[in-house]
Amino acid sequence: MSESEEWAFPEALQPNRDEVGFDLEAVQRAAVSVRATIPTDAFTAAGLGTERAGNGMVIEPGLVLTIGYLITEASSVWLHANDGSVVEAYPMAYDQATGFGLVRALGQLNAEVVPRGSAATLGRADTVYVMGHGGRPHCLKATLIDKREFAGYWEYLLDEALLTAPAHPEWGGAGLVNEDGCLVGIGSLLVHQVLEGQELQGNMFVSIDLLEPILESLLNTSTSGMPPRPWLGMFTGDDEEPRVVTGLSNSGPAAAAGIRPGDQILEVDGNPVETLPEMLRAIWGLGPAGVDVPLSIEREEQVLKCLVRSADRTDYLKKPVHH
């Protein structure tokens, strides 16, 4: 047994089968371990690593919903069920806009199917359950702290993310389940939150409501069916420095256009931007991937104009090999 499988939440933090209104064991059996291997020359290898491990939730027989960064550019994926069985899988799709990833088992996956609910029914302070692979010891009773906009420095934006506490240590791809035992979110990040003046760690989940409009297209075409958003390959700062470039993808459009770390983004297409969400929406509002993005930047107290030819992020990624 690996070290990661030996840990357990204290009993008081684990969901109690006698206190929940659903079949706890069945939902726990829907949580699987997702392990992926990525080639060393993959575009995301340096940032995300070549050996990735997390969780996933079975949403249809043999179909696992997880968080996409676990399986991006994967050359192999293996699913571990709670009964100890292991099956090889195929990374079907990664939707850049939502962050969802889909994995299809290539053999018999001995796991339950979790019913899907809606995050729209959740309210702040509601009790929720974070389901990780490994049975009850890896499942956490938590509280929905907030539902709010979330912007990621890697050109990612959710209109409404789900924030929970306390934090689950293996959040990637973990399932968020409501009090009816229905899946309402997929784990993405460890985040710092403030509750009643106290700072605490929690998790950010992507709402399951974002899956329903694109699921059929993901299954049929491996894409959401929506035009790809313009991508600049530009990492932009957090809340304290929301428009400062902190890093660049070496071969990305922003680097090719001469953007440098430390530059401050002032305007997009002549329109001032004050926050990261404003900047991302302004860029995406110019058109689909490939559109020119005019930027005004401040560098060493000088204001400069820069034109970035955007790209489709997926063009930089290795595609999965069909089995």
CATH of the domain at 144: 2.40.10.10
Question: In the chain, which stretches have pLDDT less than 70?
Answer: 1-5, 193-198, 238-240, 242, 321-323
Task: Show the domain range for 293.
Answer: 234-316
141/99 same-domain check: no
273/204 same-domain check: no
pLDDT of residue 323: 53
pLDDT of residue 200: 79
Closest to 293 (Cα-Cα) out of 264, 262, 265: 265
| 321 occurs within a structural domain | no
| 260 occurs within a structural domain | yes
Please give the single-letter amino acid code of residue 14.
Answer: Q
Residue 76 Cα distances to 51, 57, 207, 285, angstroms: 10, 18, 27, 36
Phi/psi of residue 220, each to 5°?
Answer: -90, -30
pLDDT of residue 240: 64
272/199 same-domain check: no
pLDDT of residue 257: 97
pTM surpassing 0.75?
A: yes
137/97 same-domain check: no
pLDDT of residue 1: 35
Q: How many domains does the chain have?
A: 3
pLDDT of residue 319: 86
| Residue 145: both structure tokens together | 């702290």
pLDDT of residue 194: 57
141/157 same-domain check: yes
Write the CATH number for 307.
Answer: 2.30.42.10
240/287 same-domain check: yes
Q: Domain ends where: 221, 255, 274?
A: 221
| 12 occurs within a structural domain | no
| 54 occurs within a structural domain | yes
Q: Domain ends where: 175, 210, 245?
A: 210
Q: Domain ends where: 177, 195, 221?
A: 221
242/176 same-domain check: no
Residue 261 Cα distances to 236, 251, 265, 267, angstroms: 9, 14, 11, 17
Write the CATH number for 35.
Answer: 2.40.10.120
Distance CA 38, CA 70 (A): 9
194/259 same-domain check: no
140/189 same-domain check: yes
